């Protein structure tokens, strides 16, 4: 079997298991890079070759811990899970740094929404922020999954291939209905091009970047920042962390607890230590 045929086989297997297009693309890319790096046919690649490849990514290409983990997972999927040949998952790679992400304030979110000059761009930000959507979920939202009369919607096959219910507030419903009226051709997707097909993730990323620049936001704004703001602002509002977990579709509560660290709630009752210095002198 040629290397190209292996990639096709891996792609079919990943699709059968319900992996996202993004994960499939990443796995195939890293496997192909391994084949090119070794210059060997897949069956002749040794465990040491895989270790050298991961070292190359870490030392020479300075890949981050998360990228190295993804590369290892891709190679492990084929050589460990499909072939049961090498225990690739045991190879140690650079640890993923626990860097806290930037969070937008409510005022900054409003400035970005206000910077939108058309209904589509305004609705994109409103949906991603008020529903805590990942960009991959936002581009694939379907009209049939939005029940505006009950103020709810369903995100189909989110991360981990799980559906979850989202809340639609009245202002958001008004924006949805206004935007849908402007569409010339019917489409199953909420956000669609003139031919009815959904926009790409890249298109959304460009729109978000331009709106942030127009709004004068100095923080690094990316598509996931609205989901971070959603989680953080819910915690600051006093919503129970378990409810936040459900609203965000997290499998692990520890993932949701990140938003406690990002919120201002952890500083409640701490007071001003500089003021305390003056009090102690008196």
Q: Give per-residue pLDDT as tens, 244-273.
A: 999 999 888 988 888 888 887 666 665 666
Q: Indicate whether 158 belongs to any domain.
A: yes
Q: Which residues pair with 142 in a beta bridge?
A: 189
**Count of domains in the chain?**
2
Helix (H/G/I), strand (E/B), else coil: 203: helix
Give the global pTM.
Answer: 0.69
Q: Indicate whether 163 belongs to any domain.
A: yes
Same domain for 73 and 111, yes or no, is: no
Same domain for 72 and 116, yes or no, is: no
Same domain for 139 and 58, yes or no, is: no
Same domain for 44 and 166, yes or no, is: no
Residue ending a domain, choose from 49, 65, 90: 90
Beta-strand (E) ranges in the chain? 146-147, 152-155, 164-167
The dihedrals phi and psi of 30, each to the nearest 5 degrees, come to -70, -35
Any idea what the CATH number is for the domain that residue 59 is in?
A: 1.10.150.130
Same domain for 83 and 115, yes or no, is: no
CB atoms within 10 A of CB 277: 9
Same domain for 48 and 184, yes or no, is: no
For the purposes of burial, counting CB atoms within 10 Å of the CB of 223, is it exposed (0-12), middle (13-18) or buried (19 or more)?
Answer: buried
Same domain for 142 and 9, yes or no, is: no
How far from 124 is each of 128, 177, 203, CA to CA, in Å? Answer: 6, 13, 11
Identify whether the C-beta of residue 55 lies closer than 8 Å to the C-beta of residue 37.
no
Q: Indicate whether 217 belongs to any domain.
A: yes
Identify whether the C-beta of residue 45 lies closer than 8 Å to the C-beta of residue 75.
no
Is the pLDDT at 282 greater than 60? The verdict is no
Q: Indicate whether 279 belongs to any domain.
A: no
Tokens encoding 99: 């860097």
Which helix (H) or strand (E) segment is 229 a member of? helix 225-236
**How many Å separate Cα 251 from the centre of its chain?**
14
Residue ending a domain, choose from 90, 116, 141: 90
Residue ending a domain, choose from 63, 90, 117: 90
Any idea what the CATH number is for the domain that residue 160 is in?
A: 1.10.443.10
Q: Indicate whether 258 belongs to any domain.
A: yes
Same domain for 215 and 131, yes or no, is: yes
Poorest-confidence range of 34-48, 123-137, 165-179, 249-263?
249-263
pLDDT band at 194 (very low <50, low <70, confident <90, very high): confident
How far from 50 is each of 5, 33, 38, 57, 88, CA to CA, in Å? Answer: 19, 11, 9, 11, 8
Q: Which residues are catalytic?
A: 134, 159, 224, 227, 250, 259
Enclosing domain of residue 22 = 3-90
pLDDT, one tens digit per residue, over 200-215 is 999 999 999 999 999 9
Poorest-confidence range of 3-12, 23-32, 78-87, 140-149?
78-87
Same domain for 83 and 121, yes or no, is: no
Same domain for 72 and 142, yes or no, is: no
């Amino acid at each position: 079997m040629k290397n190209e045929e292996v990639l096709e086989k891996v792609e079919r297997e990943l699709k059968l298991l319900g992996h996202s297009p993004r994960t499939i693309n990443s796995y195939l890319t890293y496997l192909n890079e391994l084949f090119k790096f070794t210059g060997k046919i897949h069956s002749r690649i040794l465990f040491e070759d895989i270790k050298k490849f991961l070292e190359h990514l870490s030392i020479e290409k300075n890949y981050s811990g998360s990228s190295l983990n993804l590369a290892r997972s891709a190679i492990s999927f084929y050589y460990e899970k499909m072939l049961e040949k090498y225990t690739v998952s045991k190879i140690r790679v650079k640890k993923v740094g626990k860097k806290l992400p930037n969070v937008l304030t409510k005022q900054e979110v409003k400035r970005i929404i206000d910077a939108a000059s058309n209904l589509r761009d305004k609705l994109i930000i409103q949906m991603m922020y008020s529903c805590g959507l990942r960009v991959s979920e936002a581009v694939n939202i379907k009209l049939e999954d939005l029940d505006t009369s009950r103020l709810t919607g369903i995100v189909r096959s989110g991360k981990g291939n799980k559906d979850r219910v989202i809340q639609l507030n009245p202002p958001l419903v008004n924006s949805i209905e206004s935007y849908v009226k402007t569409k010339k051709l019917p489409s199953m997707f909420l956000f669609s091009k003139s031919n009815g097909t959904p926009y790409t993730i890249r298109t959304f990323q460009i729109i978000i970047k331009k709106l942030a620049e127009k709004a004068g936001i100095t923080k690094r704004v990316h598509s996931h920042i609205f989901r971070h703001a959603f989680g953080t602002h819910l915690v600051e509002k006093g919503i129970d962390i378990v409810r936040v977990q459900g609203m965000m579709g997290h499998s692990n509560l520890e993932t949701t607890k990140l938003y406690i660290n990002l919120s201002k709630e952890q500083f409640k009752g701490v007071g001003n230590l500089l003021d305390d210095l003056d009090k102690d002198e008196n």
